[in-house]
């Protein structure tokens, strides 16, 4: 405990508020990322179904999901821009010294944001003015551009975890940058695919959860069933893939960042036959309090053998490893992520079993309750994954080369705390407006559908058709026949 307190005492006073500000901003932004990355793909899935079957309900869902996609993108641009400013203002030491090495990823992400804004505008515009197939084809690049944005961010983050593509001169400054090696680091592939599949799973479960909630309230019409089935099926297919990728990235951390792996698994001393702890708390003396201890399992999971040697936290000096408290946070977050992923896999298998037997959804209300909560559970898992990644890397901002305390701004701590208060208030207001807009859209759509009967599959009139009614765009002219409003 004394050593940990000494380390904390050596940290500059502005480090804590800078960390809290970055953590809050990233924690809010990451909740919006799944829909930003994957909702375009889910919308196009429904759009393709509408093209193939000419189903009026599918047209309606695709059109409405595109409206939600646009609103969410607007909010995500704000939170993402704030993060970009914070990265430069709070951590000038990082970008000042290492920006030339890994900054390409942020440039790629910025261009992806720009392209996505243009493509979303074209897609929304196309509901009224483009032919069906042309409109769909113009929407196809949207998911690809979203993946490009994720590429940029994950390239930068994986470099911070396993920095490559440079050498240090006599003054310790990076020179001879190899961009290819700086982008495609050992952790890039595991991080990127694990992240992307997590985003697609989360978006699928979040969207499906909305319609599962409606079905729990007695709305079993075709609109809710189709709105649930398409995104939930996509997420369920990815659930077993994500379990494989999760195991792959954990094994990559074991090989590439052994001290981080030790923090994630609460391994104090380097040894073989290492036990696995499910939850639990690491004490300063290396003992673990609470949790469930499973003998030898950690060695088996790491190297498929009880004799696998697992590096412990004490293999490096105290200043080069996470504190016991940080290790406990990383371990808890890791267990939460794995636990939620395991439960979602079981939910996906339940769905697959019912569909294989009866070509229908499971009839139990317990399934709908679980499906309704799956989206929120995924968001918790996403937060836990980022906590594991960032806290487990401590005290390094560039693993093995620069500590977080060396990169932080020299701005007064009081100023940073005040900025944190402003950001919290601003984000709270922005998210409240975002949710209010979504709820009002839902209410308006429900009232329109009650009048038209389209939720049961009735083909709408020309004035009601998705081909002639753009979300937040020009409406058909008022005519007595349509009964609409200008």
- Can you spell out the DSSP letters for 19-50? HHHHHHHHHHHHHHHHHHHHHHHHHHHHHHHH
Report the mean per-residue pLDDT for the chain.
86
* pLDDT value, residue 456: 59
* pLDDT value, residue 4: 44
> Per the domain annotation, does 82 fall within a domain?
yes
> Per the domain annotation, does 377 fall within a domain?
no
The answer to whether residues 55 and 463 touch, using CB atoms and an 8 Å cutoff, is: no
Cβ neighbours of 176 (radius 10 Å): 9
> Per the domain annotation, does 31 fall within a domain?
yes
Tokens of residue 399, six digits: 């693993």
> Per the domain annotation, does 260 fall within a domain?
no
> Per the domain annotation, does 47 fall within a domain?
yes
* pLDDT value, residue 445: 84
Q: Give the model confidence (pLDDT) of 229-247 as tens digits.
A: 999 999 999 999 999 999 9
Q: Which residues of the chain have pLDDT under 50?
A: 1-8, 461-486
At 342 the three-state DSSP class reads helix
> Per the domain annotation, does 244 fall within a domain?
no
Tokens of residue 43, six digits: 């919308």
- Residue 46's Cβ-side half-sphere holds a number of Cα atoms within 13 Å equal to 28
What is the rounded end-to-end Cα distance, in angstroms, of the chain?
A: 70
> Per the domain annotation, does 407 fall within a domain?
no
Rounded CA-CA distance 350/326 in Å is: 36
R_g of the chain computed on alpha carbons: 25
Find all residues with CB under 8 Å of 112, minimum gap 6, and list them.
Answer: 145, 146, 148, 149, 151, 152
Domain count, the chain: 1
Residues spanned by the domain of 59 = 14-169+181-187+417-486
Angle between helices 141-161 and 104-129 (to 10 degrees): 160
The answer to whether residues 478 and 486 touch, using CB atoms and an 8 Å cutoff, is: yes
Closest C-alpha among 48, 235, 206, 55 to residue 140: 48
Q: Give the model confidence (pLDDT) of 313-360 as tens digits.
A: 999 999 899 999 999 999 999 999 999 999 999 999 999 998 888 888
Rounded CA-CA distance 175/27 in Å is: 34
* pLDDT value, residue 460: 53
Find all residues with CB under 8 Å of 415, minimum gap 6, and list them.
Answer: none
CB burial of residue 438 (10 Å; 0-12, 13-18, 19+): middle
Tokens of residue 467, six digits: 């081909």
Rounded CA-CA distance 323/35 in Å is: 34
Global confidence as pTM: 0.87
Rounded CA-CA distance 114/360 in Å is: 41
> Per the domain annotation, does 100 fall within a domain?
yes
* pLDDT value, residue 341: 93
Tokens of residue 274, six digits: 């290492």
């Amino acid at each position: 405990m004394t050593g940990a307190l000494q380390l904390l005492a050596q940290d500059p006073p502005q480090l804590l508020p800078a960390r809290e500000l970055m953590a809050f901003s990233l924690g809010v932004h990451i909740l919006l990322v799944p829909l930003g990355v994957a909702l375009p793909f889910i919308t196009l899935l429904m759009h393709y179904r509408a093209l193939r079957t000419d189903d009026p309900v599918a047209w309606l869902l695709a059109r409405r999901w595109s409206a939600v996609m646009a609103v969410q993108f607007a909010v995500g641009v704000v939170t993402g821009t704030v993060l970009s400013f914070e990265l430069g203002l709070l951590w000038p030491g990082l970008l000042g010294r290492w920006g030339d090495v890994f900054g390409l990823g942020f440039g790629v992400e910025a261009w992806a944001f720009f392209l996505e804004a243009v493509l979303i505008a074209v897609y929304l515009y196309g509901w009224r003015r483009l032919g069906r197939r042309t409109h769909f084809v113009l929407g196809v690049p949207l998911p690809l551009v979203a993946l490009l944005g994720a590429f940029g961010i994950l390239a930068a983050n994986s470099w911070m975890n396993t920095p490559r593509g440079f050498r240090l001169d006599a003054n310790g400054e990076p020179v001879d940058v190899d961009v290819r090696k700086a982008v495609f680091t050992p952790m890039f592939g595991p991080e990127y695919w694990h992240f992307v599949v997590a985003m697609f799973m989360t978006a699928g479960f979040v969207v499906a959860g909305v319609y599962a909630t409606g079905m729990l309230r007695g709305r079993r019409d075709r609109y809710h069933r189709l709105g649930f089935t398409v995104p939930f099926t996509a997420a369920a297919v990815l659930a077993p893939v994500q379990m494989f990728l999760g195991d792959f990235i954990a094994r990559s951390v074991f090989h590439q960042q052994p001290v981080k792996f030790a923090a994630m698994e609460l391994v104090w001393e380097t040894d073989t036959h290492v036990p696995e702890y499910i939850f639990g708390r690491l004490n300063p003396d290396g003992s673990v309090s609470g949790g469930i201890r499973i003998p030898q399992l950690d060695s088996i999971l790491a190297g498929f053998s009880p004799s696998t040697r697992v590096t412990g936290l004490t293999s490096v000096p105290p200043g080069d490893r996470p504190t016991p408290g940080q290790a406990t946070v990383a371990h808890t977050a890791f267990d939460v992520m794995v636990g939620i992923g395991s439960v979602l896999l079981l939910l996906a298998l339940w769905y697959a079993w019912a569909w294989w037997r009866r070509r229908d959804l499971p009839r139990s209300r317990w399934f709908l309750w679980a499906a309704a909560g799956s989206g929120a559970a995924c968001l918790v898992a996403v937060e836990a994954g980022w906590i594991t990644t960032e806290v487990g890397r401590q005290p390094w901002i560039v693993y093995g080369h620069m500590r977080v305390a060396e990169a932080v701004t020299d701005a007064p701590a009081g100023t940073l705390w005040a900025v944190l208060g402003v950001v919290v208030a601003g984000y709270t207001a922005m998210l409240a407006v975002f949710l209010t807009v979504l709820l009002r859209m839902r209410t308006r759509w429900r009232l329109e559908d009650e009048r038209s009967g389209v939720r049961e599959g009735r083909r709408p009139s020309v004035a009601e058709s998705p081909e002639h009614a753009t979300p937040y765009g020009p409406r058909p002219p008022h005519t007595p026949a349509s009964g609409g409003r200008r």
